[in-house]
């Protein structure tokens, strides 16, 4: 196999995080951690393969292959767990705004009894979210926000046209969407 074919294969076989698998597999010794960008480099490297910074000028952080694998596992586990507290807070604010909007629309259209299913749906949805083992990731929050916006829009139309049955169906659907996503 020619050298250029070997280089193109190496470029194609990057892991999801940009690491070269053959570097990690072939390097049984120590690895250098770039203090500028965080990239793992061979201990023989003079320059970082991501940012190009001189590794000789940096105070090199030498890590073992096992420590690198542990760090990758922790990073993957963290990404799978909860999103940031900000993600959860944004979803809760959007939900509260939707509930407030629907409550106001119910009062303006003289359908005060519609507040009961609106609040019940909100309480049930929040209970499902807080009991979810998956937590609130960015993806879940995005789907939750879109769901809240669609339900608010359709529920407003149902209130304006005095369709209490449609409003009730929408509130049940809102809760069920959240319950199904939390499993």
Give the integer Cα–Cα distance in Å for 119 and 98: 11
Can you read off the two tokens belonging to residue 109?
Answer: 């259209």
Domain boundaries of the chain, sorted by first residue: 3-79, 85-182
40 neighbors 48 (Cβ within 8 angstroms): no
* Edge-to-edge order in the sheet of strand 61-63: 40-42, 31-33, 61-63
Mean pLDDT by 10 residues, the chain (183 residues): 45 48 50 76 81 74 63 65 71 90 92 90 85 73 88 92 91 87 71
32 neighbors 55 (Cβ within 8 angstroms): yes
pLDDT at 42: 77
């Amino acid at each position: 196999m020619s050298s250029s074919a070997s280089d193109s294969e190496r470029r194609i076989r990057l892991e999801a995080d940009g690491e070269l698998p053959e570097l990690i597999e072939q390097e049984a010794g120590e690895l250098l951690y770039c203090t500028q960008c965080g990239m793992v480099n061979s201990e023989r490297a003079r320059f970082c393969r991501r940012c190009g910074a001189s590794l000789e000028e940096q105070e090199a952080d030498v890590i073992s292959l096992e420590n690198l694998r542990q760090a990758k596992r922790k990073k993957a586990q963290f990404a799978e767990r909860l999103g940031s507290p900000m993600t959860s807070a944004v979803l809760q604010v959007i939900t509260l705004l939707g509930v407030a909007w629907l409550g106001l629309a119910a009062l303006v259209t003289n359908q005060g009894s519609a507040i009961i299913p609106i609040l019940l749906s909100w309480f049930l949805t929040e209970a499902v979210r807080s009991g979810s083992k998956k937590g609130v990731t960015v993806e879940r929050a995005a789907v939750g926000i879109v769901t809240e916006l669609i339900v608010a829009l359709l529920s407003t139309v149902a209130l304006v046209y005095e369709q209490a049955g449609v409003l009730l169906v929408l509130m049940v659907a809102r809760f069920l969407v959240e319950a199904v996503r939390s499993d």
